[in-house]
Amino acid sequence: MSSVLCPVITLFIVAVLGRVLFSWIPLAPESPVAVVRVWLVRLTEPVMGPLRRALPALRMGHVALDLSPIVLIIGLQVLRSALC
């Protein structure tokens, strides 16, 4: 079972990192890369959405830092190290 879960967890971590990176880049909605961002959001939002609602954003002046990707990646790393 861990032979299946470990690569899936790794791919999900990559998807979360991709979503974070794409959130920093402004993309036109008709851009081919925007389709990738939409799929990454659809894939990761079921986990990140509830986590984002549970964790308040870290306010730094006029900017708020969303901590949910960081917490999710750390949690997935812990899970992966326990399983693999």
Are the CB atoms for 71 and 55 separated by under 8 Å? yes
Its sign, for the CA torsion 65, 43, 6, 53, is positive
Kindly report the pTM of this predicted structure.
0.88
Query: Whats the size of the chain, residue-wise?
Result: 84
The rounded mean pLDDT for the chain is 92
**Domain limits, the chain:** 2-83
Decide: 55 and 67 in contact? Cβ < 8 Å.
yes
Q: What are phi and psi of 62, to 5 degrees?
A: -90, 5
In the chain, beta strands by DSSP E: 58-60, 63-65
What are the tens digits of pLDDT across the range 57-77? 899 889 889 999 999 999 999
